[in-house]
Chains A and B, each alone.
Chain A
Amino acid sequence: MSKAIKITKGLDLKLYGEPMPEVVETFVGEYALKPKDFIGLIPKLLIEEGERVKAGTPLFYAKGKEKVLFTSPVSGVVKQVKRGAKRVIEEVIISADETIEYLDFGISDISELAAEQIKEKLLNSGVWTVLRQRPYSVVPNPDTTPKCIIVSGFSSAPLAPDYSVLLKGLKAELQVGIDALKKMTGVTIHVNLPAQKGKSEELAQLQNVQINTFEGKHPCGNVSVQIEKLDPINKSERVWYLDAQDLVVIGRLFLEGKYNTERLIALTGQEVSHPQYYKVRKGANISSLIYNNTTAVDLRIISGNVLSGTRIEKDGFISAYDNQITIIKEGNEAEFMGWLAPGTKKFSFSRTFLAGFLTNCCNRKYKVDTNLHGGRRPFVVTGEFEKVFPMDIYPMQLIKACVIEDIDMMEQLGIYEVDPEDFALCELIDSSKTDIQDIVRNGLELMRKEMGE
């Protein structure tokens, strides 16, 4: 019973620096696990600096969810436990060996394992952390069960990697991943694919799943939008979701008995000289990838996409759930009378600039930078967010409920169904320059603390 869903609202942002379908295999010397990538995680360290670890050795566990282990993606030596303000652990950095040694979790046949055994194996190897739960986008508590599982099989974000490249030749691993999840939970597993380009044949041929296709502009690739169209979340319901590349990691655990996070990440953006794919592991250091591969200007390096990614330094690490690095120009230059100029080259969703008309008539690409393009103001314009927000939710009203921390109101307006990334386009086009994703994240965190996961 597959579904074909068409989404009419949204915005496809076309930027320079799309990745070429070329894959470079490269050795990356350092890897890191960043507790901040996991919402609400309070890490309890299990290793010390200087200790030797293998791929799959636990580095820390989650306070409150002791069974959830976070394991090393590579073998090597713990180089540094980097702490920030108030001694919060920011990064656990590992110097990687040239040939990776794996902790052996044992090869096993799914059909011979009980649901509990599968769960235990996922938890012990650290593979469990590839799963996330809506609401809140947290790593799920092993004692809970979801009402369905979503495998995100494409991304509609700007310059997103092509999943048909990412998943080439990994059909067996994907199928085993599906079988494991199905046996463990018994619920429907949705595999969501794009109707247009970037459809992965490997995913389309999976058995034992419900294949859905989504057609439309960004954010049709966002999990929240997909859940809302397939099986919306009500209060006290949970949906788990994971990225298709992480499904491969589950498959390998049972096929090879290893925590093998090998994957492709796309290096994208207008300031990248050769935008292409790199074969690395989870949490790779990016300095060797961008070395001699960027223009010389002042750069903003983003783990993820330009809309909802995280800013990292040029010797930083890619975040756990990202498969894309985007590099654009910092826009720290003042512009003379910028609000008055006709503006044929500027990106604007509004039609107050000439460029706004042009976007509608041709497939234009834009050069962008990180300038805020104005000052922060209270909300003035209305009716704009609705044009890029394809869910049956009133975005402005929900944002305001988050600002005033009205828990009942947030619940009534559908906070359980959303994630900050769903508001990224609203934030992009907002003429009042409000930090909307931050507001929604704070609202969600408030709900999580008050209502529990």
Chain B
Amino acid sequence: MKFIKNTLDKMRPSFEKGGKLHAFHSLFDAIDTLMFVPATTTTKGCHIRDAVDNKRTMITVFIALLPALLFGMYNIGYQHYLSIGDIVAGDYCANFWNNFGYGFLKVLPLLLVSYIVGLGIEVIFAQIRGHEVSEGYFVTGLLIPMICPPDVPLWQLALAVAFAVIIGKEVFGGTGYNFLNPALVARAFLFFSYPIQMSGDTVWIAEKADAYSGATPLGEMIAGAQLPSASIMDMFVGFMPGCVGETSVIAILIGALILLLSGVASWRVMLSVFAGGAVMGLIFNAVGANDYMNMPFYYHYLIGGFMFGAVFMATDPVTAAHTNTGKYIYGFLIGIMAVLIRVVNPAYPEGMMLAILLMNVFAPLIDYYVVDANIRRRAKRAKLVNNK
């Protein structure tokens, strides 16, 4: 530790103003503060401060994402070997290390591209603006690969990451100022720019054999199936084709537990997304005009990205509603919209991404009316006094 500290201290002068490497001072700061919580002390106001900082908050989300990521890797391998006939369906543990190794090698390049491109841009912006590199991309960089199909071309991913970081976040001022969830901006960019690689029945299993059906449960439903072909147990555990990190409900629930116990994600948002999804699902059950509408409402939790979106995307504090009352409304409408888009819209099988992006746009409006109620209450009180 002492050695690292000394090395960093020795290097610092050349990165300071006037030093040879001043052009890279943001990168140096980022590494320095990553290694050591700085010795800065309070100057104004409260003399002591909570041990929590944004790094800590972000690492908590990062840890919460790991179960879904690791399971996602395993599932990629499992789906691949299943499709080429090396294993038989239902034999989940055979070929364990091959499955995981295959998935790991598939996902690793995605992660590398995401982090190198994204952090590179973040560092450049921090350098230009003269502030520290923010931790937001720590999580976004992991989220983006997790909501992509395993075979997404790396150059497309790189473009999407660049678009998300620059247009989704940095043009508004960086982490904390953006109004759209940057990871979803990347997903939407890919979805609308490269639909061939992002939709259909062939992209969800890595290097799948041509003869094997690679339809996701969502795809089957939109194609008119009565119910998804995968069993409830398979969908709950996560053995179905889909994006890297979205398939396993159980792994996502472990993440949700971490987020809720640590208090990092808002339970209000999470709960109301599920409530909204259930309400809309039940309404469709009541209407019952086709097989999709008749699908039991809890299937919506199991298929596609509903679970992942509810736990990791909708709860992003920056782009969600900021007031507690607003969070209920925001989450509830996400649930409603996601199921509505899934069932009624023929073009987009997955409604979660669009629902969250849509409500990101409306979150400030929701907050406006919630805060306005407080303003009115205060104005009314003042009026009462004046009338006396």
Contacts and interface: CB of A to CB of B under 8 A. Distances in A.
Nearest to A435: B44
Interface residues of A, number: 73
Contact of A381 (B49, B317, B379): B317
B50 A438 contact: no
Interface string B309-349: 00000000110101110010000000000000000000000
A389 to B, nearest CB: 12
A407 interface: no
A183 interface: no
B261 interface: yes
A234 B383 CA distance: 9
A394 B323 contact: yes
Given A412-B379, A432-B176, A377 B134 contact: yes
B263 to A, nearest CB: 5
A355 B382 CA distance: 44
A66 interface: no
Contacts of A428: 46, 48-50
B59 A378 contact: no
Contact of B262 (A350, A429, A431, A433): A350
Contacts of A376: 132
Contacts, number: 217
B47 A306 contact: yes
B176 A334 contact: no
A106 interface: no
Contacts of A397: 322-323, 367, 371
Interface string A30-63: 0000000000000000000000000000000000
A372 B47 contact: no
Nearest to B317: A382
A329 B326 CA distance: 41
A339 B136 contact: no
Interface string B167-202: 000000111110000000000000000000000000
A351 B261 contact: yes
Given A336-B36, A370-B42, A413-B371, A328 B132 contact: no
Contacts of B286: none
B52 A352 contact: yes
Nearest to B384: A234
Among B42, B268, B320, find the residue whose CB has the most chain A CB atoms closer than 10 A. Answer: B42
B258 to A, nearest CB: 10
B88 interface: no
A302 B41 CA distance: 14
A237 B75 CA distance: 66
Given A335-B37, A339-B53, A346-B51, A420 B385 contact: no
18 contacts: A302-B47, A307-B46, A339-B56, A340-B59, A351-B262, A352-B57, A352-B262, A371-B40, A372-B42, A374-B54, A376-B132, A380-B317, A381-B57, A394-B371, A414-B374, A429-B52, A431-B53, A433-B49
B19 to A, nearest CB: 20
A153 B189 CA distance: 61
A337 interface: yes
A383 B264 CA distance: 10
A343 B50 contact: no
A259 interface: no
A383 B317 contact: yes
Contact of B37 (A350, A374, A427, A429): A374
Interface residues of B, number: 63
B322 A330 contact: no
Contacts of B135: 377
A433 B53 contact: yes
A235 interface: yes
Given A370-B48, A396-B322, A420-B45, A234 B53 contact: no
Contact of B324 (A300, A369, A383): A383
Interface of B: 1, 4-5, 33-57, 59-60, 132, 134-136, 173-177, 261-264, 266, 268, 317-318, 320, 322-324, 327, 367, 371, 374-375, 377-379, 381-382, 385-386
Nearest to B261: A351
A333 B1 CA distance: 14
A373 interface: yes
Among A383, A396, A427, find the residue whose CB has the most chain B CB atoms closer than 10 A. Answer: A383
Contacts of A347: 48, 50-51
B175 A377 contact: yes
Contacts of A300: 41, 47
B49 A234 contact: no
B55 A339 contact: yes
A449 B249 CA distance: 57
A234 B382 CA distance: 5
B320 A382 contact: yes
Among B38, B56, B322, find the residue whose CB has the most chain A CB atoms closer than 10 A. Answer: B56
B36 A335 contact: yes
A352 B56 contact: yes
A380 B176 contact: yes
A17 B82 CA distance: 66
B176 to A, nearest CB: 3
A364 B248 CA distance: 39
B371 A377 contact: no
A348 interface: yes
A372 B37 CA distance: 9
A436 B34 CA distance: 25
